[in-house]
Chain A
Amino acid sequence: MSVTRREFLMGCSAALAALAAGQVSQLIFADQVRAAGSDEMLVVVFLRGGCDGLSLLSPYDDPAYRQARGELALPLTGANAPLRIDPRNSSYSTSSFGLNGKMPQLKELYDGGRLALVHACGLDDDTRSHFDAMDYIERGTPGNKATGSGWITRHLQSSGEAAGLLPALASGSATPASLLGYGGAVAMNNPRSFGISTYGRYNRAEEGYPVLKVLEGFYPGTGVNSLDVAGKRTIETIKAIRAANPGAYTPRSGVSYPTGSFGDALQTVAQVVKLEQGLRIATVDFGGWDTHESQAQSDGNGYLPDRLGMLSQGLYAFYNDLVDYQGRLTVVVMSEFGRRLGRNASNGTDHGHGNVMLVLGGAVNGGRVYGAWPGLQDLDQGQDLRITTDFRVVLGEIITRRLGNRNLGAIFPGLTAQIYQPLGLVNGADPGPISWASASDPLEIQQSPNLPRRLYLPMTGKC
């Protein structure tokens, strides 16, 4: 027993020292609080599984594409023919480009100048592993999946105090790695049901919610562990939601979300936005993109086209549902990697590299495709679309020019001024010179190799 106790004690003191160091760097961050952009909102939609960007925004008449894709190449005619767009980008003159035929809503947003596309974009790392790629992207440290915090966490920490009750929402059952280590994050499936169920007479306003009151004492939020912090956050959220008193959600008239978990998750975000609880950043997961098998039919129908249609319908509904907030809303859609140019023998596609990112919002310079198109002759590892734009460039521009946070070095350690060449995706100016100072918090950057996620220490009682 003594061994363990001592180990824990050592673990505690080492961790506390580390935390103290983190505290110092936090103070430095706090002095750099940005001036503007305080009511801006960012929604990050992650397409999990590796969305096939070449079916989403397709070089549909490029002979190399048609030959490699065979039956999976988008049909040139018929109901599902690609929706041709004007890239307004000279590097895209090697072929025609079109959105998938199932995505007329995105075509409308693109033509209306609200949607920008960045092709041949993504994580500049060789990995073809879903889980490594997601970790690298969401922790914001390509090549390092053991980073103890997510990029959104570091953005929120380095941008000063969150004013509202609900600054960060993960619309779903749990928080993604991009919010790792952020105790202010709230994971929620549905605001309406976010309350305690227990014996009625001890759960009423008249007596001051006695059960909740005792529970609050259990989770002071000051212990050195994630359970304590999450418990406290849960109780705070219950109280905030109770005060806001959300009913069943009714989207704006005429808005039609797709049925299923993606549409539900978007509606949860929309409802929380309208509750006006200070939401600044939300994450939405949309899975099911790992199309190794039976991806689509030659007529352009099938599994992946349907999923792309759902994405298009969902984004369109969400954007129009939030018509009163569009001016301060940016939505970014990304995936861990694209899929291989060549079709496989199961009429699917295996893990690839470069992909397309979508940026939607009232302040987006849309109606353009950004980044350089590398073509389909010179492929990454001889098989996959190359990456010409690092995903951190896209996120970095939104973080600085919309969210008003110039601490890119802390948010994306390793990103340099040389890599970070903003594309002009969004309106707005930098809040000041970009700070490339990396986060020095050892908790954020270093971790025991045996511990894959955030530091966790045993329950420590009331501190």
Chain B
Amino acid sequence: MTLTRRQLFGSGAALAASAVAAQTLLSAPEPALAACQALPPASPTSVAMNRLSNGMRARDLAAFNALGATPDERYERWVEQQLDPAAIDDSECEQRIAATRLKIRYETVNQVRPLDLLGASTEQLWTRVSDSMLAWEERIRPYNEVRVATWIRAVYSRRQLFEVLVDFWHNHFNVRATSEGNIAATWPVYDRLIRTHALGNFRTFTEEVGKSTAMMLYLDNASNRAAGGEGGNENYARELFELHTLGSDNYLKFYDNRGLIEPVSYGEERFPRGYIDDDVYEASRCFTGWTIANGRDGRPNTGEFVFKSDWHDTYPKTVLAVRPMEGIAPAPNIAPRQAGLADGQQVFDLVCFHPGTARHLCTRLARRLIADDPPRRVIDAAVEVWMANRRAPDQIRQVLRTILLAPECRTTYGAKMRRPLEAIWAYLRATEAQLPSDEESVGGDATRGGYWGSLFYNADLTGHRLFGWDTPTGHPDTASYWANTNALLVRWNNYYNMAQSWGGNVQIDIIGQTNLNEPCAQIVERWANRLCGFPIASWIQRDLATFLAFGGDVNAPPRPTSRAPDWGAIEGVHDRVRAMVHLLAMSPDFNLR
């Protein structure tokens, strides 16, 4: 049977890939090796700029290059700087946030307002929406302000690693902000919580997330109470085990006898090797009464966390208890009638200090920071640091240092694909784009001027929805999910659409940053370096230079065509240069990190 390309393609990714394999085996090994050698070159610089930051930006690259004599020296100093974000002056970015206006329009209201709810407290934000007739646009305004601030920071902040990590934790402790009006209304508080603990202690972080208004409402623990024969609400407890801490690799499903669960050791400590459904049920009982002050049943109406003792199940519970000996089930390890939050806090200790949690979290961090399939050695090293610092206030920072300074981190490149928003932000950074500020109306038309709304709408269509992922898993972090036709096409179109007045009105001056008197090949090379930070594949540069020359000489400056499509007009060349940069952003090299 003859293998045609079409047949192979029709059979999918694995098969398209195996076209190479089959040919390799049948002829010679060179093509496969040649293919693998065409990797983008790994360098500490491109790792720092493209993977640990949201992409190349001239100012940040210059600052990086000034940090030392060798790339490794620069990289190590840069990592240390970035791990102390508070010490980095970010006033320029904060000024941009202060100067940005966001439109709000409903019924008779049409205003542009500053982002003045970003610093508000839970009670202020909760009270703001206490009127049940309040328009939905007002209700979700705080969430929209955080979205704007997040975009501005992603593009302009000098604390780039911090922004990458904030995004990581938002996805790890995912809440869909618009799943309930009161979550969106208090979103600045949840965002600040994530920012406060992003480099801190995981045990503290997890408890604060558990008590947050956002998580309480999203995973329903706000209504978790002990009630006769009916169970409490398991939603939060289950995801605490499965997603936030131990992970499903440590899920042992049902066991009739806990005495059959073998223990694992860490130093002197012993833990059951995984969790079972009973752990979820028992933990949900521990969290009964952990709720929100919503004005009902004598609670104040502040939206803050509150413990409602008459909802709490006071009987003894068994959570992650270690068997005394093989075959013998352990006695309950959570005592009856403990005061206040003690039951729940004991659960947080049990899950957060478990070695399975260390491995789950370190794997996720390494997957984000290094590769979809992260090197085992780095994970092992990170787990050691994680476990040794479980009670340290800067536990996460120490773990990050281990991962980031590992040789594998700075010498691995291109093993991850940019997710749509990351690609869009990288494009904005590389092109020195100016993000918009909304206008009340344009040319007297009050329906226009909402540029941020257009940006969000178009970006969401990629499937990468900032604070908008439905399920508590957060956005996937591997290429297998993002390498799909919709996510690719929509990201490609976003580069163009967001610069249009109807698509976001982002100011991107490609022509002003191009010397049109240079040869086509030179112009391509400069922009390729701007966007990627390294010399991209020569065949891509060649194709782009040929396009830019459009029938002319690639070693001469671009000229308008005398007939279609330019009809001799220089605007034709301008469009061609812009289209060439658009193509660069659509190239595979730009989409890897």
Cβ-based interface call for A346 (8 A)? yes
B223 near A1 (CB under 8 angstroms)? no
Task: Please judge, given known A-B contacts A175-B484, A350-B233, whether A456 and B372 are in contact too, CB under 8 Å.
Answer: yes
Contact A184 B485 (CB under 8 A): no
Contacts of B233 in A (CB 8 A): 292-293, 344-346, 348, 350
Report if B7 contacts A (CB, 8 A). Answer: yes
Contact with A along B397-416 (1 / 0, CB 8 A): 00000000001100111110
B414 touches A458 (CB 8 A): yes
User: Is B108 close to A, CB under 8 A?
Assistant: no
- Mask for B240-251, Cβ within 8 A of A = 1, else 0? 001100001101
Decide if B128 is an interface residue (CB 8 Å cutoff): no
Q: A198-B579, A227-B591 are in contact. Are A460 and B480 (CB under 8 A)?
A: no
**Residue on B with the closest CB to A349?**
B231
Q: Which of B410-456 contact A (CB under 8 A)?
A: 411-415, 417
> Are B223 and A293 neighbours in the complex by a CB distance under 8 Å?
yes
In contact, B471 and A344 (Cβ under 8 angstroms): no
Q: Shortest Cβ distance from B25 into chain A, in angstroms?
A: 5
Q: Which of A172-204 contact B (CB under 8 A)?
A: 172-175, 180-189, 194, 196-202, 204
**Chain A's interface: helix, strand, loop or mixed, by majority?**
loop
A169 to chain B, nearest CB (A): 10
Contact with B along A438-459 (1 / 0, CB 8 A): 0001011000111111111111
Q: Is A113 an interface residue (CB 8 A)?
A: no
Question: A210 is contacted by which of B1, B18, B219, B547 (Cβ under 8 Å)?
Answer: B547
Known: A351-B238, A456-B478. A197 touches B539 (CB 8 A): no
Question: A204-B565, A459-B588 are known contacts. Are A162 and B14 too (CB-CB below 8 A)?
Answer: no
| Cα(A131)–Cα(B174), bound, Å | 14
Q: A174-B484, A183-B9 are in contact. Are A450 and B235 (CB under 8 A)?
A: no
- In the complex, the chain A residue whose C-beta lies closest to that of B493 is A197
Partner of B14, one of A161, A287, A294, A443: A443
Kindly identify, within residues 1 to 54 of chain A, every residue whose CB is under 8 Å from any CB belonging to chain B: 1-5, 7-9, 12-13, 15-17, 19-20, 22-23, 26-27, 30-31, 48-49
> Are A4 and B497 in contact, with the CB atoms below 8 A?
no
> Given A4-B413, A30-B1, A196-B493, do A226 and B479 touch, yes or no (CB 8 Å)?
yes
CB-CB under 8 A from B572, the residues of chain A are 201
Q: Is the pair A12, B36 in contact by a Cβ cutoff of 8 Å? A: yes
Q: Does B61 contact A (CB under 8 A)?
A: no
Task: Quote the shortest CB–CB distance from A216 to chain B (angstroms).
Answer: 10
List which A412-463 residues lie within 8 A (CB) of chain B: 441, 443-444, 448-463
A80 to B462, CA, bound (A): 39
Residues of the A chain whose Cβ atoms lie less than 8 Å from the Cβ of B547: 210-211, 214
CB distance from B370 to the nearest CB of A (A): 10
Contact B579 A161, beta carbon cutoff 8 Å: no
Per-residue CB proximity of B90-101 to A under 8 Å, as 1/0? 000000000000
Evaluate contact between B254 and A126: CB separation under 8 angstroms: yes
With A23-B21, A226-B479: A3-B493 Cβ-Cβ less than 8 Å: no
The answer to whether A173 and B39 touch across the interface, beta carbons within 8 angstroms, is no
Contact A230 B372 (CB under 8 A): no
With both chains docked as a complex, state the minimum distance between the C-beta of A411 and any C-beta of chain B, in angstroms. 14
Given A19-B21, A292-B233, A454-B480, is A183 in contact with B251 using a C-beta cutoff of 8 Å?
Answer: no
Which residues of A are found within 8 Å of B462, using beta-carbon distances?
173
Q: Give the contacts of B339-389 with A (CB-CB under 8 A).
A: 363, 367, 372-376, 379
- One of B15, B39, B579, B588 near A183 (C-beta < 8 A): B15
Residues of A with C-beta under 8 A to B408: 3-4
B223 touches A458 (CB 8 A): no
Q: With an 8 A cutoff between CB atoms, is A128 at the interface? A: yes
Known contacts: A12-B32, A23-B18. The answer to whether A174 contacts B407 by CB under 8 A is: no
| Contact indicator A183/B13 (Cβ below 8 Å) | yes
Name B's interface SS: helix
| Chain A residue with Cβ nearest B540 | A218
Nearest CB of chain A from residue B23's CB, rounded to whole Å: 9
Please measure, in the bound complex, the distance between the C-alpha atom of A23 and the C-alpha atom of B11, giving whole angstroms. 11
Q: Is A381 an interface residue (CB 8 A)?
A: yes
Q: Which residues 209-236 of B sit at the A interface, judged by CB distance below 8 A?
A: 219-220, 223-227, 229-235
Contact A13 B32 (CB under 8 A): yes
Given the contacts A22-B14, A350-B231, A206 and B565 also touching, CB distance less than 8 Å: yes
CB A81 to nearest CB in B, in angstroms, measures 24
- Nearest to B417 among chain A residues (CB) is A227
Contacts of A161 on B, CB cut-off 8 Å? Answer: 6-7, 10-11
Q: Would A156 and B12 count as touching, CB distance under 8 A?
A: yes
- A20 & B22 in contact (Cβ 8 Å cutoff): yes
What residues on B are CB-neighbors of A157 within 8 Å? 11-12, 15
- Does B302 reach chain A (CB closer than 8 Å)? no
Q: Which of B226, B249, B492 contacts A196 (CB 8 A)?
A: B492
B220 A460 Cβ-Cβ under 8 A: no
Partner of B463, one of A174, A199, A451: A174
How extensive is the interface on chain B, given as a class? 35 or more
Known: A187-B484, A227-B588. A344 touches B539 (CB 8 A): no
Q: Which residue of A lies closest to B33 (CB)?
A: A9
Minimal Cβ-Cβ distance residue in A for B6: A161
Are A456 and B480 in contact (CB-based, < 8 A)?
A: yes
Determine whether the beta carbon of A172 is less than 8 Å from that of B486: yes
- Whether A460 lies near B592 (C-beta < 8 A) is no
Residue B67, interface by CB 8 Å: no
Contact status of A173 and B21, CB under 8 A, knowing A224-B35, A344-B230, A381-B254: no
Q: Are A450's CB and B373's CB within 8 A?
A: yes
Q: Tell me which residues from 148 to 176 in chain B have a Cβ below 8 Å from any Cβ of chain A.
A: none
Inter-chain contact B220/A20, CB cutoff 8 Å: no
Contact pick for B481, options A448, A453, A461, CB 8 Å: A453
With a cutoff of 8 Å between Cβ atoms, the chain A residues found around residue B253 in the complex are 125-128
B218 to chain A, nearest CB (A): 11
Report yes or no: B484 in contact with A185, Cβ–Cβ below 8 A. yes
Given contacts A189-B461, A292-B235, contact A226 B13 (CB under 8 A): yes
- Give Cα distance in the complex from A183 to B544, angstroms: 26
Stretch at the interface among A84-92, A232-240, A249-257, A312-320: A232-240
B587 on the A face (CB < 8 A) = yes
Q: Decide if B487 is an interface residue (CB 8 Å cutoff).
A: yes
A198 interface neighbour in B41, B476, B496, Cβ under 8 Å: B496
Interface membership of A94, Cβ < 8 A:
no
By a CB distance below 8 angstroms, the chain B residues around A237 are: 485
Tell yes or no: A66 within 8 A of B by CB. Answer: no
CB distance from A154 to the nearest CB of B (A): 10
A181 to B480, CA, bound (A): 8
Other A-B pairs, 9, CB within 8 Å; known A187-B487, A225-B479, A227-B592: A3-B407, A16-B21, A218-B543, A218-B588, A234-B488, A288-B470, A292-B235, A346-B224, A346-B232
- Would you list the 6 A-B pairs with minimal beta carbon distance, nearest first? A461-B38, A173-B463, A454-B480, A453-B480, A345-B227, A183-B13
| 5 interchain pairs, CB-CB under 8 A | A5-B39, A149-B12, A197-B492, A450-B373, A456-B373
Q: Which residues of A contact B (CB under 8 A)?
A: 1-5, 7-9, 12-13, 15-17, 19-20, 22-23, 26-27, 30-31, 48-49, 70, 125-132, 145, 148-149, 153, 156-157, 161-162, 167, 170, 172-175, 180-189, 194, 196-202, 204, 206-207, 210-211, 214-215, 217-219, 221-234, 237-238, 287-288, 290, 292-294, 340, 342-346, 348, 350-351, 381, 441, 443-444, 448-463
